[in-house]
Amino acid sequence: MPQSAQPIGRRERNKRDKLERIIAAARELFDANGVDAVTTQQIADKADIGTGTLFLYAKSKSELLLLVQNSGYVAALEEGRAAAERTTGVVEAVLAIIRPVVECNRSHVENGRTYLRELVFGDPEEPHHREALMLTLKTEAAVAAVLCRDKRIGPDDAATLAQIISAIMFLGMATTINAHRTVDEIIAEIAHRVRVMLPGEPDVLPT
pTM: 0.85
The confidence score (pLDDT) of residue 200 equals: 64
Residue 3 lies in a domain: no
**First vs last C-alpha separation in the chain:** 43
CATH number for position 27: 1.10.10.60
C-alpha dist (Å) from residue 124 to 36, 63, 153, 162, 198: 22, 11, 32, 21, 32
Give the angle subtended at the CA of 102 by the CAs of 177 and 160, to the nearest 5°. 90
Do residues 37 and 86 share a domain?
Answer: no
Residue 206 pLDDT > 80: no
The residue ranges of DSSP E strands in 163-206, in sequence order, are none
Based on the fold, state whether residues 72 and 125 are members of the same structural domain.
yes
pLDDT digits (tens, 9 = 90+) for 3-53: 555 566 777 888 889 999 999 999 999 999 999 999 999 999 999 999 999
> What's the CATH code of the domain at 69?
1.10.357.10
How far is 175 from 33, CA to CA, in rounded Å?
A: 21
Q: pLDDT grade, residue 207 (50/70/90)?
A: very low
Look at residue 7 in the predicted model and tell me its pLDDT: 62
CB 76 within 8 A of CB 142: no
With residues binned 3-state (H G I as helix, E B as strand, rest as coil), the percentages for the chain, rounded to 5, are: 75, 0, 25
CA distance to 11, 73, 136, per residue, from 121 (Å): 34, 19, 14
Domain count, the chain: 2
Q: What is the pLDDT of residue 190?
A: 96
pLDDT at 102: 97
Residues 90, 39, single domain; the answer is no
Task: Examine the domain organization and report whether 25 and 79 are in the same domain.
Answer: no
Measured CA to CA in angstroms, residue 137 lies from 30, 84, 107, 172 at distances of 26, 17, 22, 18
- Tell whether 99 is covered by a domain: yes
Instruction: Mark whether 89 and 181 lie in a shared domain.
Output: yes
Same-domain pairing of 24 and 79: no
DSSP letters, 19-65, are HHHHHHHHHHHHHHH-GGG--HHHHHHHHTS-HHHHHHH-SSHHHHH
The CA distances from residue 179 to 71, 105, 167, 172, 190, in Å, are: 23, 12, 17, 9, 15
pLDDT of 201 above 60: no
Q: In the listed set 41, 57, 73, which residue is the last one of a domain according to the structure?
A: 57
47/75 same-domain check = no
Q: Are residues 114 and 164 in the same domain?
A: yes
Query: Does residue 204 lie in a domain region?
Result: no
Angle made by CA atoms 181, 185, 93, in degrees to the nearest 5? 135
User: pLDDT band at 1, cuts 50/70/90?
Assistant: very low
| 145 and 181, same domain (yes or no) | yes
Tell whether 202 is covered by a domain. no
Q: What is the overall mean pLDDT for the chain? A: 90
> pLDDT per residue over 69-108, tens digit each?
999 999 999 999 999 999 999 999 999 999 999 999 999 9
Q: In this structure, is residue 1 part of a structural domain? A: no
**Region 106-128: what's the mean pLDDT?**
91
> How many whole angstroms separate alpha carbon 181 and alpha carbon 3?
51
Same domain, 51 and 68: no
Per-residue pLDDT tens digits for 128-153:
999 999 999 999 999 999 999 999 99
Q: Is residue 97 part of a domain?
A: yes
Are 65 and 157 part of one and the same domain?
A: yes
How far is residue 53's CA from residue 111's CA, in Å, rounded to a whole number?
24
Which pLDDT score, from 0 to 100, does residue 5 have? 53
Residue 4 lies in a domain: no
**Domain carrying residue 18:** 9-57
pLDDT value at residue 11 = 79
- Mean pLDDT of the 61-67 span: 94
- Are 70 and 168 part of one and the same domain? yes
Q: Compute the radius of gyration of the chain from its Cα atoms.
A: 19
In-domain check, residue 89: yes
Check residue 4 and give its pLDDT.
Answer: 52
